Amino acid sequence: MDHFTYRDRVLHCEDVPVPEIAEKYGTPVFVYSSATLLHHLASVQQAFASADPIVAYSIKTNGNLSICKLMAEHGSGFDVTSGGELYRALKSGGTGTKIVYAGVGKTDAEMRDGLENGVFLFNVESEEELYALGAVAQSMGKKAPVALRVNPDLPPKTHAKTDTSVKGVKFGLDIEGVLEVSAKAVGHPGLAIVGLHMHLGSPILSADPYRAGAAKAVALIKEFRKQGHDIQYLNMGGGFGIHYRKQEALPASAFAEAILPAVREVGCKLVLEPGRFIVGNAGVLVSRVLFNKDTGGKHYLIQDAAMNDLIRPTLYDSFHRVWPVAPKAGVPERPEDYEAEIPGTVKQDVVGPVCESGDFLAKGRNLPPLVRGDLLAVFSAGAYGMAMSSNYNSRLRAAEVLVTARTHRLIRRRETFRDLVACEEDC
């Protein structure tokens, strides 16, 4: 669910009219709902409560400090994939005892940083990484706590660029060879293999892959223990799908039903790494119409958000619902099906100002006629929107606003032209 609703034909975030936000902070602007963030975090915590899990919010989805602080204040740990993300986690109130350090290419400096800050688990994805981490830990007089990330070789589940558990991707140790790797590491003075990690990709709309992956994890944990490893953690990653089109996603309880039996069987502490599931539907990208253009038999709606603000449609051919912030009479306030023919609409490509043919937010979308100055909302933009944004075409990155009930506050100011060149002028 989300807390973005139309009232009297005006989109509200919680109790704040979105035009009020656009007027105060300008466009494009990302608008986030505190209530939605906390609802989805709580739904994961409650669904898996019987296992008393460590819920480690995946910072890569949206690392804004205010959002991360909200997560920490409500019991979340953090999943980080770089030194920068570890810095954000610590600055947001995270502690090492609830931080998982993931990523296939950690540098020695990042490993040292993680060890110095006491992260409770390093997800390790290759044999070379395992021994590099062990050497760094030994040099510091420490033992690195490790969860071996296993690629379970499951059938494709999502987009090829976000499916991380099929054979041939860069992630994880091959399931056929992981026991050989773990056997060699028994007794290593710088390593303590204490967990198994399995992330299946994202977004996943069925619980079946988790059930299949958990069954493979149980078998491996039993073998690791036979080798002498004290396995305490089962990390099933994240990847739970969200509502992008209609109501296609499963509740957290459906994934819990698939995963919890495995957790009980092996008696491990469960670790989860949700990100998109928490923040995806908690944000919208609001833009303002600049121009209309008809050419080549197509209608283009040109507005001031672009691929540098939300690259997912260009990168993954992803679908985001798009609708006016204040739809005129004669069209639905909020259609049930954004892909169906809608009375009072015409097919339009929603594009931005970036100098690329690939700069679009939606193609062939049924939208009512809009004019210069109208506001547009792109839904489900809370995850991998601002986190993947850039300054391409020397565009200023958007502002971010957090809404709580009837209040709103700026949590990231819009960049300035001075910001664009600051790192170059400071050399």
- Indicate the angle between helix axes 34-47 and 65-73, nearest 10 degrees: 40
Note if 268 is an active site residue.
Answer: no
57 among annotated binding-site residues: no
Do 19 and 30 touch, CB atoms closer than 8 A? Answer: no
Question: Would the annotation count 239 as a binding residue?
Answer: yes
Q: Please report the DSSP string for 349-391 in residue order.
A: EEE-SSSSTT-EEEEEEEE----TT-EEEE-S-SSSSGGG---
- Find out whether 356 is annotated in a ligand binding site: yes
Contact (Cβ atoms closer than 8 angstroms) between residue 241 and residue 249: yes
Was 372 annotated as part of a binding site?
Answer: no
**Is 233 flagged in the annotation as binding?**
no
Question: Per-residue DSSP letters for 54-112?
Answer: EEEEEGGG---HHHHHHHHHTT-EEEE-SHHHHHHHHHTT--GGGEEE--S---HHHHH
**Is 264 annotated as ligand-binding?**
no
Over the Cα atoms of the chain, what is R_g?
Answer: 23
Strand pairing of 144-151 and 121-124?
A: parallel
**Is 275 assigned a ligand-binding role in the annotation?**
yes
Residue 26 counted as an annotated binding residue: no
Q: Are 66 and 33 in contact (CB under 8 A)?
A: no
Which of the following is catalytic: 268, 355, 423, 427? 355
**Is residue 87 part of an annotated ligand binding site?**
no
Calculate the CA dihedral of residues 200, 152, 212, 202 and round it to 10 degrees. 10
15 alpha-carbon distance from chain centroid? 25
Are the C-beta atoms of residues 399 and 410 closer than 8 Å to each other?
yes
Which residues are the active-site residues?
A: 355
Binding residues: 239, 273-276, 312, 316, 356, 384
Binding residues for pyridoxal 5'-phosphate: 239, 273-276, 384
